[in-house]
Amino acid sequence: MPAASPSSFAIDVPDALLARARDGEHAAMELLYRWFERPVFTLALRMCGDRESAADVLQDTMLKVFGHLGEFRHRNGCPFWGWLRQVAVNESLMRLRHQRRFAQDVALEDDHWLQDEGPLPSAAADAARLQRALAALPALTRSVLWLYHAEGYTHDEIALLMDRSASFSKSQVARGTRRLRQLLDAAPAATTRATLVPESRHA
């Protein structure tokens, strides 16, 4: 089953704006930064699990993107936002590996997992509850879950990113989704509720 949520990165960037940014126009680069600051920070926060790491990933991602704007030419039909998102994912995974999060955490395992790839609860929790629940998952499981559900990556794409098999990605989505539901059900209810939607870094 394909992921249900559209990516928050899916912003149509005019070619004229990219051309101005390539020429070093500060206003154009500032606009691109403002457009993608929230998606990059949120993705990094969900994958890395803490705001300090997310802020570092945001900075590294935008520096790399602005430093290589001249190399982007809609390769293989990929839009600018898809390329920028790929940079953000790679930076997040690099930080997790550098911190040895993947080595220290054990991915969720059990003896009888079902092929549960349905969407997460549509009104799962307020932002704080959701972040706490995600943070309680192993880093690898959390990253697979976010890339699949929120960013729309396929299992084959996730397997390639993480040097794993597509079956591994499927199992992590099924187990992680089920475990996240359990964590949210066990958490105290809140007055304000929200879907699995990126939050502002300034919230």
CATH code: domain of residue 179? 1.10.1740.10
Residue 76: inside a domain, yes or no?
Answer: yes
Per-residue pLDDT reduced to its tens digit, 111-135: 444 455 555 544 344 667 777 888 8
Residue 65: inside a domain, yes or no?
Answer: yes
Per-residue pLDDT reduced to its tens digit, 142-195: 999 999 988 999 999 999 999 899 999 999 999 898 888 888 888 665 443 444
Of residues 102 and 155, more confidence is placed in: 155
pTM attached to this predicted model: 0.77
For residue 201, the model assigns a pLDDT of 39
Note down the domain range covering 53.
15-105+123-186
What is the share, in percent, of the chain residues with pLDDT greater than 90? 51
What's the average model confidence in pLDDT over 35-45?
A: 95
Per-residue pLDDT reduced to its tens digit, 41-80: 999 998 988 899 999 999 999 999 999 998 887 666 789 9
Residue 117: inside a domain, yes or no?
Answer: no
Residue 130: inside a domain, yes or no?
Answer: yes
Residue 110: inside a domain, yes or no?
Answer: no
Tally of domains within the chain: 1
Residue 68: inside a domain, yes or no?
Answer: yes
Q: Which residue has the tokens 């993107």?
A: 65
Residue 2: inside a domain, yes or no?
Answer: no
Burial pattern 76-99, b for ≥16 Cβ within 10 A else e, equals eeeebbebbbbbbbebbbebbeee
Residue 194: inside a domain, yes or no?
Answer: no
